[in-house]
Amino acid sequence: MKSSDTMPEFYNRFWSDKKGKLWDFALKWPKLSRYIPREDAVILDFGCGNGEIIKEMMVLNPKAKYIGLDVSKKALSVASAKLPKAEFQLIEDGGRFPLKSASVDFIFASEVIEHIYDTENAFSEIARVLRPNGEVLLTTPYHGIIKNLLTVLLAFDSHFDPEGPHIRFFSKNSLFSCLRKARLEPVEHGYYGRFYPVPHSIFVLAKKS
């Protein structure tokens, strides 16, 4: 990321050459798809990118109403063209979601929070728009003690690339702490990519209390 970039400019460039699904889809979807609601629901994809995950969720549940939020106009233009039945909204980091409080049943946010500067606001907004007992399914690259030690020893420069898109790094404890601070209680979690204790990512299903 160049110092002159704003987040939208960076992600407009990021999505300009991305076609179809991102590389991690085959790793995570077999683990995550079972959590997608199958009943009538309002489902929000926070950080929806080009809409590929909403497209997959529609296959699992064609009855739901789908909303996608992203900071990239480029990604949203691609998503809205391929999925005219879904609703897409442009957001900004640290801003308020353009949704009413307690209006969403389920939020999907995969590999998003590590890109966000104002994570406190993001967790707060997720909780605000969820209905009571609503759920969020969230994933992020995993940073546990053993993986961190190996990363420092073997791949520090590439992993913590100062020009890369990742600016936040979560362990299980720090992720759960952020969720609970927003009154989102973790009810189930797991990992995907490689094997524990060095998986690529952690996922957690949390419920609004």
Q: Enumerate helices (H) and strands (E) in the chain, giving the number of each.
A: 8, 7
Encode pLDDT of 14-59 as tens digits: 888 888 888 899 999 999 999 999 999 999 999 999 999 999 999 9
Does the structure show a pLDDT above 80 at 177?
yes
Are the beta carbons of 86 and 68 closer than 8 angstroms? yes
Weakest-pLDDT range from 7-11, 149-153, 164-168: 7-11
Scanning the chain, the segments in alpha helix (DSSP H) are 7-16, 25-32, 52-60, 73-82, 119-129, 145-154, 156-159, 172-181
The mean per-residue pLDDT over the stretch 169-178 comes to 97
Using only C-alpha atoms, what is the Rg of the chain? 16
The mean per-residue pLDDT over the stretch 133-146 comes to 97
Q: Determine whether 16 is exposed, middle or buried from the number of CB atoms within 10 Å of its CB (0-12, 13-18, 19+).
A: exposed
The confidence band for 6, taking pLDDT boundaries of 50, 70 and 90, is confident
Average pLDDT of the chain to the nearest whole number: 94
**Residue 134, φ and ψ in degrees, nearest 5:** -70, 160
What global pTM score does this model have?
0.93
Q: How far apart, in whole angstroms, are the C-alpha atoms of residue 29 and residue 148?
A: 25
Does the structure show a pLDDT above 60 at 4?
no
Set out the domains of the chain in order of their start, with CATH numbers: 7-208 (3.40.50.150)
Q: Please report how many Cα atoms fall inside a 13 Å half-sphere around the Cα of residue 61, on the Cβ side.
A: 20
User: Strand 104-110 relative to strand 87-90: parallel, antiparallel, unpaired?
Assistant: unpaired
